[in-house]
Chain A
Amino acid sequence: MIEILVSIFMLSGASLGLLAAIGIIRLPDLLTRMHASTKSGALGTSLIMVGVMLAFLEPVVTFRAFAIIMFIMITSPVAAHVIARAGYFVGVSLWDGTVKDMLKESYDADSHYLRSGFEGMEDNGESDDMDKSEDSAR
């Protein structure tokens, strides 16, 4: 019985991994490729580690597999965020069908200053505030 459960977990994890690979080769853009690979790959590996837990059924192995799952679940979004940020700074071109790039309107690529869109609301001294925040951002 437990073998069937382990087989189901392994097959679903491997299918999610294959889905991530198909997404990474078929999608048109850096961000969409990352969207496919990060979430689906992390979930596939986590399902296979759940299969490892069920296959061994020892506390030591369960703890190790749980540590791997937690590590992947923590590091995968962080790595995706950092790579996407670096890719946007480098200037990777977005897909032709991109509807809206909200960061492009309010972000200054030279000074790395991100406007919030509410700068005109304050009455006075806004230019000084902008200069200070630019300096602190550097």
Chain B
Amino acid sequence: MKPTVLNTPNSNLLELEHVSFSYPDGGIGLDDCTLIIRHGSRNALIGANGSGKTTLFQHCNGLLQPQSGLVRYDGEAIDYGRKGLRQLRSKVGMVFQNPDRQLFSASVQEDVSFGPFNLGLAESAVRQRVAAALLAVGMEAFANKAVHNLSYGEKKRVCIAGVLAMEPELLVLDEPMAGLDQRMQEELLIVLDELHERGITLLLATHDIDFAYRWADRLHLISAGRCTATLEAADLADCGDALSAVGLPLPKVVELHNRLMAKGALSNERTPRTPRTHGELLALL
């Protein structure tokens, strides 16, 4: 399915440079925000409700245009003309938080076909992409079902399929785990892992630091519209200050690991790196 771009893990796919945006009612959306998303990386954008996550995402897809600053995709500044936006939106896929605000066709297959048709593909190609996208999210049996008969989690998957069918390079997901139960969250994670394997760059918003630490390569912190820091997940154990500056605690696994090290229950030789999950920590003991 992907990717067309050479997978060079260190090159920058999307860059926001000093982007500011405020809403017509005076609310601050983004305030001098600088952020870099690398090719093929998994990124978590962490911030409280109302911190500007959705505003930032809408800049990734050209839905909002910065009032000052610059957004670059693949090294080039975004052209906000019709053609430029078309190109950008075929590369950056956006999954909204509330599925009922994204799905507007009555049947699953129809909705997924919406994006590919907008790309101007022929019907046979669209049919192929729809089938592949539904397969990727495990919803192939639901192709002819009506959208309103699906559960919340299923609707969410259809939303993802609808964007996947456009074969994006960068997939942006706004609070994908919100409203999903434990099992559905695990299933969605598997889907995301598979997409990452295929070379799709992922950016998702969350306010759950434990989940972000477990899943992401890089964590971007946002608070009151300011992008305060970008942290490598591998170094997070030493970044308590940056986290507490935006009111976030250290991940529980890190806290517990630190305490166990202090008590001497674990030693440096046995743990070359800080464990990322509860399971990894248990395995060390």
* A and B assemble together: no
Residues in A lying within 8 Å of B, measured CB to CB: none
Residues in B lying within 8 Å of A, measured CB to CB: none
